[in-house]
Amino acid sequence: MRRITYREALREALREEMRRDPTVFLLGEDIGRYWGGAFKVTEGLAEEFGDERVRDTPISESAIIGVAVGAAITGMRPVAEIMFGDLTALAMDQIANQAAKLRYMFGGQVKVPLVIRTPFGGGVNIAAHHSQCLEAWFMHVPGLYVAVPSTPYDAKGLLKSAIRGNNPVIFCEHKLLYPFEGEVPEEDYTIPFGVADVKREGEDVTVVATLYMVHKALKAAETLAKEGISVEVVDPRTLTPLDKKTIVNSVKKTGRLVVVSEDCKTAGVTAEIAAIVAEEAIDYLDAPIRRVAEPDTPIPFSPPLEQYVIPDEKAIIRAVKEIA
């Protein structure tokens, strides 16, 4: 099977859905023919589909999402790009109080088929305003779907499902994943929301990880295998809806759980997954749950300090060994 990058997989999904459905259009800052997006995901699409369907916008996140919500409820399928995930804070009313609630508040008379693509995560030394992982914010809002693809295959399949769906989706992309290569079939496919993927089978410890942390977990699992510890790595792929069954079944098999995410530890992704397992599978646990996440601090600009706060393979290995 051919191998393409995460960036190329996303671009393919956008191109194929725009060809398939004329109501799909893109909007965001610098996504058009002169720049192709801050991370080049939309490069070349304006040349193919024109400036009406690949729309450069003013530098106003609230305007981008406000326009997208209006377009969605009147029959279009907008895909909005927010240049950095941190900047969704500037459109939080439009996201959390409008997009997420309109279908419910109008008794199902309107649909909001809106996708908000945005990059999260650190590792590129761009400081506290451009490096956060804020997925847990959106998990807390009823009415929003939250996707966290970790591979090119997952990115393409989930994005196509998001565009075809009738609910608002926060589509989280990690900056360090854009050049990451993986196998992606050429034929059309989608991945349903709410279906986790076991990226590596194991017997001794379950590690649930998201986004770029999936790859760190897989590297940690390889190291631990040499020491006789068998790690199962589960990638939720979507956080809302969350595939609780796959996670719980894995914990029932291994009896141990480590949850890894790049967001802050308090009230974060790891806290929710740990709580679910504690509620639904505590009798199967042979050791306390361990969480590996960032400390509750802004992301430093200093490269050594940034690397210090971002979870790495050593932190995952240490957590596994504490309970194995």
Contact yes or no for 161/191 (Cβ under 8 A): yes
Q: What is the C-alpha separation between 268 and 139, in angstroms, rounded? A: 9
What letters, b where the CB count within 10 A reaches 16 and e where it falls short, cover 83-106? bbbbbbebbeebbbebbbbbbeee
Residue 174 is among the residues annotated as catalytic for this protein: no
Q: Where are the beta strands (DSSP E) in 83-133?
A: 115-120
Please give the C-alpha separations between residue 267 and each of 23, 56, 272, in angstroms, as whole numbers.
38, 35, 7
Rounded Cα gap, residues 7 and 15, in angstroms: 12
Three-state DSSP at 180 gives coil
Closest CA to 53 of 17, 84, 83: 17
Q: Is 35 helix (H, G, I), strand (E, B) or coil?
A: coil
Give the helix ranges, DSSP H, for the chain: 6-20, 45-49, 61-73, 92, 102-105, 135-139, 152-164, 212-225, 244-254, 269-281, 303-309, 313-323
Catalytic residue among 130, 140, 174, 215: 130
- Non-local CB neighbours of 190 within 8 Å, separated by 6+ positions: 157, 158, 160, 161, 164
User: Tell me, what DSSP letter sits at residue 94?
Assistant: I
Compute the distance between CA of residue 89 and CA of residue 57 in angstroms, rounded to an integer: 17
205-209 and 257-264 strand pairing: parallel
Burial of 208 per CB tally in 10 Å (0-12, 13-18, 19+): buried
Segment (H or E) for 169: strand 169-174
Active site amino acids: 130
